[in-house]
Chain A
Amino acid sequence: MSTESLALPATTGTAPPERRLAGDLAIWVFICAELLAFAVFFVAYGVARARHVDMFNTGQLTLDRNAGALNTVLLITGSWFVVQAVARLRGGDPGGSAGRLLLALACGGGFLVVKVFEYKAKFALGISLSTDTFYMFYISLTFFHLMHVLLGMVILALLWNSLRRGPGPTTLSSLESGAAYWHMVDLVWIILFPLVYVMR
C-alpha cells in the first residue's frame, strides 16, 4: 500500500482500516486542487449567465451539441477502458492492461480531433474571447478542460510505456494515480457538457 508513505498523520482514525484510496495521496491533493479550479470556473459561469441570460441562450444555440455529446461518449468510453486497464494489471495481466490504455488513448485522441473541428468552425465565424461573455466562457472553459485532456493523455502514455517495459513494484500505484486523474477529467466534462451546451 504505497499511499501509506504519504498519508497525513492521525486523520484516519475514523475510517475502517480496510478502506483505501486508489492512487497516491499526492495525486488526490492535486485532483482536489483541479476540482476547486473548475468549481470556481463553473460558479463564475453560473453567475455571469444569470446576469446575461439572453446572451448566453443565444450563444449556446450556435454550439455544436453533437460534437459535445460525441466527446462525452469518447471520454466516458476512455474512462471505461482505463478501469479495465487497472483491473487487468491487478489480475496480473500487464499486456492486457497496456492494450486497454491504448484504447483509452485512442478515445482521448478522438476527443482532440472533434474539438479541433469544433474550434475551427467557431473561429472561422470570427468568434473570439472578446466576442461576448458567453463565448469568453465557452472558449476558456473548454480550452482549459482540453489542456487537462492533453495532460491526462501524456500521463496515460507514460503509464503505457512503463507497462510495456514490464511493471515494477510501484506500477500499480502509478496506474491507479493516473487513472484517478483521467477520471477527474471525465468528471469535469460531465458537468461542463450540460452546463455550456444544453442547459437553457
Chain B
Amino acid sequence: MPFQSQGVAKYYFMAAIALFAGQILFGLIMGLQYVWGDFLFPAIPFNVARMVHTNLLIVWLLFGFMGGAYYLIPEESETELYSTKLAMLLFWVFLIAGALTIVGYLAVPYATLAKYTGNDLLETMGREFLEQPLITKVGIVIVALGFLFNITMTVLKGRKTAISTVLLLGLWGLAVFFLFSFYNPVNVVEDKFFWWWTVHLWVEGVWELILGALLAFVLIKVTGVDREVIEKWLYVIITLTLVTGVIGTGHHYFWIGTPEYWQWWGSIFSALEPIPFFAMTVFAFNMVNRRRREHPNRAATLWALGTGVMAFLGAGVWGFLHTLAPVNYYTHGTQITAAHGHMAFYGAYAMVVLCMISYAMPIMRGRAANSNKAQVLEMWSFWLMTIAMVFITLFLTAAGILQVWLQRVSDTPLPFMVVQDKISLFYWMREWTGVVFLIGLVLYILSFFVKGEEQAKAA
C-alpha cells in the first residue's frame, strides 16, 4: 500500500461486511414472514424487518463507498490523507450512530422512537428508506461533511485525476441530494416528488458516478491499461448516466399527481438508462481483454467483470422491463419492482464495493493478493452469491408476473392477499435461494481467514 493513511479503509470495509451480514439475516427473516406471517411476531414485525433490511443495505454501502474513497483518493492524489484522525473519528461516530439507530428500530415502537428523537421539531420520519430519526439524519450529514472535507482537501493538495474528480462529484452529489430527506412538504405530491430526489438521484444518478470511479480505479490497477483510455470511457459513461438518470427520474412521476408530460419524459429517458450500464460492461471486458499484466488478484478481476454484467442485467434490463408508463401502469409496486431492486442493488453497488474490498484488503494486509486457496474460496462465494441473486430475481419476477396477472390484468381480479397465497410457492423458492446467498456470504467472510502456502509478495 503506497500510503499509510489508506489503511483507514480497512475499518470501513470490515464494518461494511458486518452490516452486510446483518442485512442478509433480516432479509431472510422477512422473506420467511412472506410465507409465515407471524414468524417472530410481535418481536420483529414485518415492517421493522423491512426497514432494517433496507437501511442496513444503505449504511453498509455508504461504509463501502467511504472506505473505497479513503483507499482510492490518497493513491490517485499521490499524497497522504488530509487527516487520518478525522477519518477514524468519523468511522466510530457513524458506526455507533448506525448501530444505535438499528437498536432503536428493534427495541421500541417506531412512533416512540420518533417521539424521543425530536421528530416533532422537524418531521422527517416515516418515509420509505428515509425512516432514520432526525438525530441520525443530522449525524449522517455531519459525517458526510467531515468525510467530504477530508477527501476534498486530500485531492486539492495532490494530483488531480479524472477518477478522483468523478468520485468527488458522485460523493458531493450524494451529500447534496440527501438534504432533500429533511424536506417533507405536507402536500403528498410534493412530498413524493422531492423524496425521489434523494432516492432516485442517489441510486440512478450520483451513485453511478461512484460506481464508475471505483470500477475504473480497480480496472487500471488490475489490467495496467493506459489511464487515458480508461478516463475517456469514464467520461462517456458518466455523461450518459447523468442525462438518462436525471431526466429518467420521471419514471417515478407517472402516477403521483404530476403533469402528464412526465409519462413521456420518464418513459423515454429511463428507457435509455441501460445504455451507460451496457457501456460499463463493454468497458470492463474490453479493458480486461487488453490487459498489460497478469495481476495476481484474480478474484478482484472477477468481481469487476461481475459488477458490469450484473449491473447491466439488474439495473438495466430489469429496470427497463417495467419502466415504460403503459407497462408500469400494471406492474407498479408489485414483485417485479422487488426483483429489479434486488438484482440492481447487488449487481451495481454491492458488487462494486466487494470488488474494491477484494482488491484493496489484501494490499492493506501486506500482500498483493491472497493465497490461491483463499482466492478460490472467494470465487466460490462470488458464484454462489451471484447465482443465488439471479434466482432470487427470477423467482420474484415470476411471482410478480403472476401477481400482475391475477390481481390486475384479469377480468375477475383477485384481492391482494388471495394472490399472495397463490404465489407463495415462489416466495418459498426465493427464501431457499436466500439461504444459498447467505452460505455464499459466509464463505466470503471465511476467505479472509484462509491462510495459504504461497503468499504473494507484499505490494
Residues of A at under 8 Å CB distance from B? 5-6, 8-9, 24, 26-27, 29-30, 33, 36-37, 40-41, 44, 48, 129-130, 136-137, 140
Contacts and interface: CB of A to CB of B under 8 A. Distances in A.
A89 B449 CA distance: 60
Given A5-B226, A9-B286, A24-B232, A33 B260 contact: no
Contacts of B290: 9
A29 B279 contact: yes
Interface residues of B, number: 28
A36 B275 contact: yes
A6 B289 contact: no
A88 B38 CA distance: 77
B292 to A, nearest CB: 12
A43 B65 CA distance: 40
Interface in B257-276: 259-261, 264-265, 267-269, 271-272, 275-276
Contacts of A6: 229, 232-233
Contacts of A41: 268
B429 interface: no
Contacts of A130: 259-261
B241 to A, nearest CB: 11
Given A44-B268, A140-B261, A9 B275 contact: no
A66 B279 CA distance: 40
Contacts of B235: 26
B100 interface: no
A37 B244 CA distance: 9
Contacts of B265: 140
B236 A29 contact: yes
Contacts of A129: 259, 261
22 contacts: A5-B226, A6-B233, A26-B233, A26-B235, A27-B236, A29-B282, A30-B236, A33-B275, A36-B275, A37-B268, A37-B272, A44-B264, A44-B268, A129-B259, A130-B259, A130-B260, A130-B261, A136-B260, A136-B261, A136-B264, A140-B261, A140-B264
A136 B267 CA distance: 14
Interface string B221-243: 00000101100110110011001
B232 A33 contact: no
Contact of A33 (B240, B286, B289): B240
Q: Which of A37, A41, A48, A129 has its CB near the most chain B CB atoms (within 10 A)?
A: A37
Contacts of B268: 37, 40-41, 44
A36 B236 contact: no
Nearest to B239: A30
Contacts of A140: 261, 264-265
Contacts of A8: 282, 286
B261 A33 contact: no
A6 B286 CA distance: 9
Given A8-B282, A9-B289, A37-B244, 13 more contacts: A5-B228, A9-B290, A26-B235, A33-B240, A33-B275, A36-B272, A37-B269, A40-B268, A40-B271, A40-B272, A130-B259, A136-B260, A136-B261
Nearest to A43: B268
B229 to A, nearest CB: 5
B193 to A, nearest CB: 16
Contacts of B275: 33, 36
B286 A5 contact: no
Contacts of B276: 33
A176 B253 CA distance: 40
A158 B449 CA distance: 53
Contact of A26 (B236, B243, B269, B272): B236
Nearest to A170: B228
A15 B226 CA distance: 26
Contacts of A36: 272, 275
Contacts of B279: 29, 33
B232 A26 contact: yes
B348 to A, nearest CB: 18
A144 to B, nearest CB: 9
A137 B264 CA distance: 9
A45 to B, nearest CB: 9
Nearest to B259: A130
Contacts of B282: 8, 29
Contacts of A29: 236, 279, 282
Counting from the closest, the 4 A-B pairs by CB-CB distance are A26-B232, A129-B261, A136-B261, A33-B275
A29 B279 CA distance: 8
A126 to B, nearest CB: 15
A73 B240 CA distance: 29
Interface string B363-389: 000000000000000000000000000
A185 to B, nearest CB: 14
Contacts of A33: 240, 272, 275-276, 279
